[in-house]
A and B are shown apart, each in its own frame.
Chain A
Amino acid sequence: MTRYAMAIDLRRCNGCQTCVTACRGANATPTGMQWRQVLDMETGEYPDVRRAFVPVGCMHCADPPCEHVCPTTATKQRADGLVTIDYDICIGCGYCAVACPYQARHIVHRNEFAFGDDRPMESELARMDPERISVATKCTFCKDRIDAGLERGLTPGVDPEATPACVNSCITRAYVFGDRDDPNSEISKLLAETAHFRMHEELDTDPGIYYIWDNAGEDK
């Protein structure tokens, strides 16, 4: 079986937001909507204060609550683990958005332009997609790139043409993408040799994004 997953090395991420920009460019998300976000979290108490940059988005859970609650079957889970939305079926009820513990789902009811409604850029007009208005949208792990790449015999996570835009764009190589069930994939090897966690694991959604925080050790 294939289970696409992502590993993000929190030791490497410097919060440059290139992945956010790459995602917006690749997916033409409307103004104000970011499928990929990088949180800037300050934690601790003086003098031990820390700052963490944490990329977040759809976790493509193995047990996705959004899919369970969706009344229309617009949200589906593919055999390779990707959670998808059929924009032609979705009614925009927002139930998936309140069921998602990762705040990964977004609904906008009108298209907004970066410089105001009366000043749309040509690129915005060209890439505006009315089908994505008033329905739920979220990170797809760039499934179109993955599928197109697979058709050409490419390997997601190895070949950039078959790899999510955020992963390709990362300037520090904090992102690694691939098949978690393939022991020879880079992500499997990386997860084997590092200490990592997943967001809100206590909720039993089996999320598909792993956050690396240290090298593997006996106490980790």
Chain B
Amino acid sequence: MSAEQAPTAGRSAPWHQTNWDLRAAGNFVFGGAGTGLVIFSAFAHVSGTAYVMPVLIGLALVGLGLLCVWAEIGRPLRALNVYRHTKTSWMTREAVVAPFLFASGLGAAWTGSEALVWTAAALALGYLTCQAQMIRASKGIPAWRNPFIVPLVMLTGLCEGAGFAMMVAAVSADHGHLKWIETCLLALALARGLAWYAYRSSLQRERAPKKALAAMSKIEVPFAILGNWTPLALLFIALASSSMNIIFWFGTVCAFAVVLSGWLFKVVLITRAAFNQGFALPRTAVRGAGNGGPAAKPGW
């Protein structure tokens, strides 16, 4: 029996963290998609397409994410205490950005001001950065503290934003701009796919609990293959086509696939792959007349 298989009383091998569940994942799921959509609304404004609806949907998604967090915390009536630690806490910074994001986004939707749209987009990018850094700062969870998680989470949010922008354009019959959004989605999906492999290879290189690696392996097909590379191929076909039917249907299907796979990734990241550090011994103690034993790191 190897050291890694050795039974241990109590919990020394990494186990699932239970403090953040689906509600916490909801913040990253909806917050990422919402901020991505607000960012795309600014580009939509420049290109002359409808932007009010995307901005409002984006803000609603961000609000839904915050509602999820509020439902998660143990003392919701003290929620405003979250503003007390801007110096080092990314959660505080996210909370600081949120009201300005809502104010500028709603202002942009109300007035049509280009400056406010871009301000909202910049704040949305800041919000998304806070979310990614929040995960990265969780030193107790090896799958989260990996530095590649920051670009991956941000690109996932941007992809979801582009996907939602595509859906809104499709629904609002704003088909003239589908190709433009599809081009953006294609570029972002390519970057997200590369970020995914950089993240996974970094996790394997720098080591992570076996169960966390297994959880990530399980979403290779639904997230990377079906949710990223297949839509990428379909988008190529759509962009090369002159048929509006192909552009419309391929684009819409790809948008759904990219959004749903991104959500799946974040749910798995926050819940299923969130194994903690566990405990390890660099050496085992000398007992009696014997020598010290080798290192033990169960579950890795």
Chain A interface residues toward B at CB < 8 A: 9-11, 37-46, 48-50, 52, 54, 56, 65, 67-74, 89-95, 97-103, 107, 109, 133-135, 195, 197, 199-201, 203, 205, 211-215
Contacts and interface: CB of A to CB of B under 8 A. Distances in A.
Contacts of B233: none
A214 B286 CA distance: 6
Interface string B126-167: 000000001001111100100000000000000000000000
Given A71-B81, A103-B276, A213 B138 contact: no
Given A72-B82, A91-B74, A102 B277 contact: yes
Contact of A41 (B12, B81, B137, B286): B12
B282 A98 contact: no
B75 A90 contact: yes
A10 B280 CA distance: 13
Contact of A213 (B1, B83, B280, B284): B284
B243 interface: no
A135 B75 contact: yes
Interface stretch (B56-64, B108-116, B287-295): B287-295
B274 interface: yes
Could you say which of B75, B79, B292 has the most chain A C-beta atoms within 10 Å of its C-beta? B75
B219 interface: no
Given A41-B296, A41-B298, A71 B137 contact: no
Given A41-B279, A99-B139, A107 B19 contact: yes
B6 interface: yes
19 contacts: A10-B284, A42-B6, A43-B6, A43-B298, A44-B3, A68-B88, A68-B137, A69-B91, A72-B84, A89-B78, A94-B74, A98-B276, A102-B279, A133-B74, A135-B75, A200-B280, A205-B139, A213-B292, A214-B283
Could you say which of B7, B74, B76 has the most chain A C-beta atoms within 10 Å of its C-beta? B74
A42 B298 CA distance: 10
B138 A69 contact: yes
B285 interface: yes
B101 to A, nearest CB: 17
B220 interface: no
A197 B84 contact: no
A204 B133 CA distance: 18
A98 B144 CA distance: 9
Nearest to A94: B19
Interface residues of B, number: 58
Contact of A93 (B8, B10, B11, B73): B73
Could you say which of B137, B139, B281 has the most chain A C-beta atoms within 10 Å of its C-beta? B139
Could you say which of B20, B69, B134, B279 has the most chain A C-beta atoms within 10 Å of its C-beta? B279
Contacts of B81: 71-72, 74, 89-91
A188 to B, nearest CB: 21
Minimum-distance CB pairs A-B, first 5: A92-B74, A134-B74, A94-B19, A40-B9, A10-B285
Contact of B85 (A73, A107, A211): A73
A98 B19 contact: yes
A46 B91 contact: no
A69 B3 contact: no
Contact of B137 (A74, A99, A197, A214): A99
Contacts of A68: 88-89, 137
B228 to A, nearest CB: 27
Nearest to B14: A103
A48 B88 CA distance: 46
B79 to A, nearest CB: 6
B202 interface: no
B92 interface: yes
A115 to B, nearest CB: 23
Contacts of B293: 43-44, 48, 50, 52
Given A54-B279, A199-B280, A42 B82 contact: no
Contacts of B282: 197, 201
A135 B74 contact: yes
Contacts of B76: 91
B138 A98 contact: yes
A101 B137 contact: no
A52 B139 contact: no
B89 A71 contact: yes
A40 B296 CA distance: 12
Contacts of B20: 94, 98
A93 B294 contact: no
Nearest to B278: A103
A74 B75 CA distance: 13
Contacts of A43: 3, 6, 281, 284, 293-294, 296, 298
